[in-house]
Amino acid sequence: MKITDKKGVKVTPEMIGLFFEDINFAADGGLYAEMIENRSFEAKEAFGTPGNFYSVDDNGYAWKPYTAGGLDKPRMQYIMGTPLSEANPHYLRFTATEAGQGFSNKAYDGIRLHKGMKYNVSFYARCVEYTGNNFIISVNKDGKIYGKASVEAVKAIPYIPFSDLKIDMEQKDPVISAQIEKIKQLDTEKMSRCNDWIKYDVVITADNDVSGADFTISLDGAGVIEFDLISMIPEDAVDGIFRRDLFEALAAIKPGFIRFPGGCIVEGISLENRYRWKRTVGELKDRKYIPNLWAFDDDRSKEGWDVKRPDSHYGQSFGIGFYEYFILCELLGAKALPVLSIGTACQFRSTQLVTSDSKEFDEYVQDALDLIEFANGPVSSKWGALRAQMGHPESFGLDMISVGNEQWESKYVDLYKRHQIFEKAIHEKYPDMKILGTAGPFLDSPITKDGWDFYNHEFKKNPNTCYAVDEHYYVSPQWMYDHVDHYDDYPRDIAVFAGEYAAHTEKKENSMESALAEAALLTGIEKNADVVKLASYAPLFNRIGHSQWKPDMIWFDDEKVYLTPNYFVQQLFANHVGDETIPMDGQEKELRKDGIYVSLSRTNNGETILKAVNVNDSEYTLPLTDYEDVPVEAIGHAWVLEGTGEIPDGMPEITDVRQTNLQIIGDVTIPAQSFMVIRF
């Protein structure tokens, strides 16, 4: 293979990124480090199939009474009246008849503690009538306590009319008079006003390792206490938000961008269920909990109103909201790419929408403008002030935004008109903002071609109409091999965002079979870096035992992270992005006939990066010459991804990346069934 001295096309440094959607417990129970499930007593249970969706309140989900050896059980009521926040109106009214009673949370597959680690616990409580003095917080399993702390209860000052007068006034009613006198005798310095919610913070240190344990709050006396927003987060959570091992897995990729908050959940199963970014910022207590779209079964072959998924209580607490997504991007050094609804529910599931000529639709457009202000606006602006109040007065530097997800033009959805309205409104106020459009849910279809026809037609009138079009494809490995050159003949006017893609084997496994196909496709994408500006595998996360979709890039449970071969492909491409491609003048097409897929790029300091996929069952020797046909002699480094063939039941194939120093004398050897990156 001749490595010429020609210059190819520039590669955007942010080309390889991440697509985050709250699916497979990616946020709550995943990247969000919160350990308590249904912390605000707002859980819903989801039922039905497309067209027949509904949910019912199940406020006590994940909670149960706790007794320390007593026979009596406490009373647990989930009530409304004077909530911590109107956004989440339910809270727990707990009645203990004796000391030692409490209530427990099962958490996500149970609480896991690591010996010696500290865990930050917080909750809001209101003492209605309490004879005890403390709240005892513990983590326990099978009668054994693995971590414990207590906090003094703040009791409420009793109230009856005229008990809080600043002047003396004789009471004619002897009963009231006696009660007032009793209140006056109290030491109220550490007491709260009646009905005030008090926030408690306490730290638990794990005495030992444990998994599958319960989180418990118990009382040391009888009484009636109301509780809300109960939280437990490990002290090592990144920025107090993100589960550290999952964050570190993302950081190792060095992603160029993050697309968030998802795909289908952006629209929701209905307009009411859609993702509203303004409800995900501000204080945690004011973020309205909703059922997750992926809690609802989308299998159209099922019948009946009571169909439900195993994880029918899957919800969104929005502990990771739009502010946290921007923080995540900042921590990872990635560009933010938020996706906004264009006024339709998910087209796969519903025909609900607001018409594009309605005042309701204007609100969706305003949401986009306000989001840009939230991300970039000065602290003197309404939404910039909120960002500053949340702890980030500096701009997040947002420079691109995606309008819609997988929509297509239909009898009901006037996608193209909606895009035009969004584009005009955004660019009138923010002319430099890059706007991404959507071309439906898959390639090789009339609706995709129709979408591209629209964008290309609009481009002739308005070159600013669309920076890139979002394409999605979940396809067989063979499709990817057959379409490595898919973007060779694309027009270069409007860019492509390969926003969701993955190779799906027959068993939909995360395996070398799928990973090599994705690596092969990426060689073609990298070669066409002048048209494909952004690319992200999907989905990102999968909590084992809580899957709504497979395959996925990163698997995890309550303790470990399992990196898939598909993950390593993304990591290697993202970690080894050149500044410009090296033209191969058709050599790559000849190599494909031998089952070898390659791309070449060069850094600004003259380093050559060769990426090579060998799909054969035997190793392959690839000759290397320079532009004068002289065999290459160089010292370099190589990263080799190989599989073990070991795929544990229901798990990804076990793989790893081997890094070596490499001496090149005229050729390189690419192992069988491998993906290799060479820098020299």
Radius of gyration in angstroms for the set of CA atoms belonging to the chain, rounded to a whole number: 29
DSSP lists the bridge partners of residue 660 as: 638
Q: Contact at 8 Å (CB) between 608 and 625? A: no
Q: Hey, which bits of 189-300 come out as E strands?
A: 198-205, 210-219, 223-234, 257-260, 290-291
Q: What is the mean pLDDT of residues 345-370?
A: 96
Which amino acid, 491? P
For residue 315, which of 543, 26, 87, 589 has the smallest C-alpha distance?
Answer: 26
Q: What is the pLDDT of residue 68?
A: 82
Whether 174 has a pLDDT exceeding 90, the answer reads no
Residues 377-436 have pLDDT tens digits of 999 999 999 999 999 999 999 999 999 999 999 999 999 999 999 999 999 999 999 999
Q: What is the pLDDT of residue 156?
A: 81
Q: Contact at 8 Å (CB) between 104 and 216? A: yes
Q: Contact at 8 Å (CB) between 450 and 409? A: yes
Whether 160 has a pLDDT exceeding 80, the answer reads no
Whether 348 has a pLDDT exceeding 80, the answer reads yes
Whether 187 has a pLDDT exceeding 80, the answer reads no
The one catalytic residue among 406, 423, 458, 509: 406
Confidence of residue 660 (pLDDT cuts 50, 70, 90): very high
Q: Contact at 8 Å (CB) between 265 and 292? A: yes
Q: What is the DSSP letter of 184?
A: H
CA–CA dist 72, 86 (Å, integer) = 33
Q: What is the pLDDT of residue 69?
A: 75
CA–CA dist 73, 87 (Å, integer) = 31
Residues 13-69 have pLDDT tens digits of 999 999 999 999 999 999 999 999 999 999 999 999 888 899 999 999 999 999 987
Backbone angles phi, psi at 639, to 5 degrees: -125, 125
Q: What is the pLDDT of residue 173?
A: 80
Whether 188 has a pLDDT exceeding 80, the answer reads no
Q: What is the pLDDT of residue 391?
A: 98
Q: What is the pLDDT of residue 180?
A: 79
The CA distances from residue 217 to 35, 59, 121, 125, 148, in Å, are: 14, 17, 11, 11, 10
pLDDT > 90 fraction of the chain, expressed in percent and rounded: 90
CA–CA dist 267, 339 (Å, integer) = 10
Please, what is the average pLDDT of the chain?
A: 95
DSSP string, 629-646: SPBPEEEEEEEEEEE-S-
Q: Contact at 8 Å (CB) between 258 and 328? A: yes
Q: What is the mean pLDDT of residues 254-267?
A: 97
CA–CA dist 255, 15 (Å, integer) = 8
Q: What is the pLDDT of residue 497?
A: 98
- The order of strands in the sheet holding 655-665 is 580-581, 596-602, 608-614, 674-679, 633-643, 655-665
Tokens of 510: 């995360």
Half-sphere exposure of 9 (CA within 13 A, CB side): 16
Whether 219 has a pLDDT exceeding 80, the answer reads yes
pLDDT > 70 fraction of the chain, expressed in percent and rounded: 100
The pTM of the whole model exceeds 0.75: yes
Q: What is the pLDDT of residue 307?
A: 94
Q: What is the mean pLDDT of residues 143-163?
A: 90
Q: What is the mean pLDDT of residues 291-307?
A: 91
**What stretch of H or E contains 679?**
strand 674-679
b vs e for 529-543, b when ≥16 Cβ sit within 10 Å of the residue's Cβ? bbbbbbbbbbbbbbb
Q: What is the pLDDT of residue 652?
A: 97
Task: Note if 588 is an active site residue.
Answer: no
The CA distances from residue 163 to 170, 198, 358, in Å, are: 11, 22, 54
Q: Please state which of the ranges 140-154, 172-186, 445-459, 549-563 shows the lowest mean pLDDT.
A: 172-186
Q: What is the mean pLDDT of residues 468-496?
A: 97
SS3 of 350, please?
coil
| Beta pairing, strands 223-234 & 118-130 | antiparallel
CA–CA dist 117, 236 (Å, integer) = 8
Q: Hey, which bits of 331-476 come out as E strands?
A: 335-340, 400-403, 434-438, 468-475
Rounded to 5°, angle at Cα 31 from 471 and 240: 130
Q: What is the 3-state secondary structure (H, E, C) of 451-493?
A: HHHHHHHHHHHCCCCCCEEEEEEEECHHHHHHCCCCCCCCCCC
CA–CA dist 64, 75 (Å, integer) = 10
Q: What is the pLDDT of residue 263?
A: 95
Backbone angles phi, psi at 78, to 5 degrees: -110, 105
Whether 195 has a pLDDT exceeding 90, the answer reads no
Q: What is the mean pLDDT of residues 104-121?
A: 98
Backbone angles phi, psi at 69, to 5 degrees: 90, -10
Residues 541-599 have pLDDT tens digits of 999 999 999 999 999 999 999 999 999 999 999 999 999 999 999 999 999 999 999 99
DSSP string, 314-345: -EE--SS-HHHHHHHHHHHT-EEEEEE--SB-
Q: What is the pLDDT of residue 425?
A: 98
Q: What is the pLDDT of residue 185?
A: 77
Query: Which burial class, exposed, middle or buried, applies to 517 when counting CB atoms under 10 A from its CB (0-12, 13-18, 19+)?
Result: buried
Rounded to 5°, angle at Cα 388 from 387 and 392: 85
Q: What is the pLDDT of residue 408?
A: 96
